[in-house]
Structure 1
């Protein structure tokens, strides 16, 4: 039975790329076992809230399972799962029901200055072993670049991600003629009716990203998509993310796990969830910069394949605590 002796919270700023923030939670039990969790782009008040409440929530409290603790924060939930599975010597992937040893990965390519440059970048990724590419599209940057990539690579599996930037179906319907597998996040997430309209008009599967099972239920009821873009760290707990997986899979949807940002812990949790049986599409944990990661081995793809760590308990990675301390802008201990 876990019993936390010490809880720590770090707010770190990642040094490369967009210099985004992560909030890290470290839990230590009375035997010296540790568990770590990460929340991405935390609310500005989250650090101070956890500084005030984490000790009362966990210090000296006996608990049987992470699900028995009151909802607090995704980073706390992840740290509890990491500690609980490390104590039992089992990988997190197995503990939540995963059954895969490796995952196919997609690589995401942002808009470029020209379609020709984009094709050259696709060529680099294909040569690196990727067989699935996701192109970020926006109004004004969609049909031409997708056409160019498709002409250069007729057999390449392509997905597009609208990032919620579209307000009508026109250009997205036009993309369907280029053999797109999935159209991710075409519209604002609070517009299931427009998603349903698009899904009725295209052969590609529409993918929606939601942050709760209740929002997912709205899409399932309307048959407004055929793919769940599952970002585990966007849910309040890994159990809730698993619940969304179960509902989407039961409805016959495909599932893609995504989570390529952060310092490595959130990516590791994404890989664990992506090993669930319903996650049938290539996962997205490959966004750079990899140099931001504080875990060993780093989480990412090799020749388009992501390994699921099954020989180590918990999240399956070693934390560089010295680097965490160097990156920390705030630190609290309870």
Structure 2
């Protein structure tokens, strides 16, 4: 494939409902969409899953825009790419900036699959025709609202409920949820809000029969998570601690957790995601695909990677309507009874709604 045009779109999309974590509350998502065009006029699409501020990760929308513009796009534009796996090698000289790298690499993967006439899931080696899906619920000031949200999502058939927690919004909240929903598959996500001084609080969570505690300690940490896992029965799930294949190797060796939440953007793309998947398969570490409040383009990439065999736990790829009044793809992502069908059309399997994309765009840049 020869890439002769790349377009970047900066979008501001208002969320259907505010989403609160230990980092704060998001009302609007600011992110980047990348379109890579081949010499044959075929377009591939990728999403840079950033936000306005470097809270979840060190990258933010404006920094990723600059990284793409100044360093990454020049490595791809007007060059020939035999296979998307080659993109990772081209980007290796530049440190980190995984969200930016993932965006353009994702566009190349979509373009490659379309050029080959196969679904992206097939191009990645996926074998599933459908996947089970969970849902992530933010922190609520009013527990009644959280209980109502859980009831609604359980009725919709979601296979797992995740609730966000932080100090002061943890044991009492989980206890109340368990009183109302004693048997649902339930997990909690701390987004790095605790330290080892909170071991007594995290130990107390063992009595609630949780699927896992996601990223309880500092982002990037592996040693303290290993210490914590020895102290508690509930499986620790690593999120912000896993940014690469090498991080995964170290986490497995140190026994820092029993489960990994893989996010394509956080690890730098689909090629790295495949490598992490294969390593975790070898060592019996179950995976699930986390969400970054993506638009339909990023959501489509999540669906494709989750088709691989070792994504054995429900991910966070909920319906488009959970987050947006109108998504930027057609058809929108729709979960039915807690399951998503893997698209069988070439590429990501969804069409980009250009009218909706441009309506939400605040900036566009074209490279030829």
In the alignment, is the contact (CA less than 8 A) between 1:233 and 1:259 conserved in 2? no
Query: Residues of 1 paired with 2:220 and 2:170: CA distance?
Result: 23
Query: Residues of 2 paired with 1:324 and 1:293: CA distance?
Result: 9
Aligned residue for 2:62, secondary structure, equals coil
Query: Residues of 2 paired with 1:7 and 1:22: CA distance?
Result: 16
- In the TM superposition, what is the alpha-carbon distance from 1:131 to its structure 2 partner? 3.5
- In the TM superposition, what is the alpha-carbon distance from 1:21 to its structure 2 partner? 1.4
1:156 paired residue number: 184
In the alignment, is the contact (CA less than 8 A) between 1:192 and 1:222 conserved in 2? yes
- In the TM superposition, what is the alpha-carbon distance from 1:142 to its structure 2 partner? 1.3
Equivalent residue in structure 2 for 1:99, among 127, 152, 171:
127
**Structure 2 residue 75 is matched with structure 1 residue 57:** yes
2:342 paired residue number: 308
The TM-score normalised by the length of structure 2 is 0.85
User: Quick one: structure 1 residues 139 and 297, their matched pair in 2 at CA, closer, same or farther if it must change by over 3 Å?
Assistant: same
Query: Residues of 1 paired with 2:72 and 2:223: CA distance?
Result: 41
Query: Residues of 2 paired with 1:56 and 1:199: CA distance?
Result: 44
Equivalent residue in structure 2 for 1:295, among 316, 320, 329:
329
Q: How far does the alpha carbon of each residue in 1:203-256 deviate from its partner, in whole angstroms, 9 at most, with x for none? A: 321100111122222211111100011011212221111111222222211111
- In the TM superposition, what is the alpha-carbon distance from 1:58 to its structure 2 partner? 3.1
- In the TM superposition, what is the alpha-carbon distance from 1:52 to its structure 2 partner? 4.4
1:35 paired residue number: 44
2:53 paired residue number: none
Aligned length: 332
Query: Residues of 1 paired with 2:29 and 2:112: CA distance?
Result: 28
The TM-score normalised by the length of structure 1 is 0.93
Q: How far does the alpha carbon of each residue in 1:126-182 deviate from its partner, in whole angstroms, 9 at most, with x for none? A: 112123111111111111121122122222111111111011221111011111111
Alignment of 1:171-186 (within 5 A): 171-186=201-216
Query: Residues of 2 paired with 1:53 and 1:118: CA distance?
Result: 44
- In the TM superposition, what is the alpha-carbon distance from 1:303 to its structure 2 partner? 2.4
In the alignment, is the contact (CA less than 8 A) between 2:32 and 2:61 conserved in 1? no
Q: Which deviates more from structure 2 when the two are superposed, residues 42-51 or residues 314-323? A: 42-51
Aligned residue for 1:325, secondary structure, equals helix
CA RMSD of aligned residues (A): 1.9
1:8 paired residue number: 7
2:147 paired residue number: 119
Q: Which deviates more from structure 2 when the two are superposed, residues 61-70 or residues 113-122? A: 113-122
Runs of 5+ in structure 2 lacking a partner? 19-26, 51-59, 92-99
1:203 paired residue number: 233
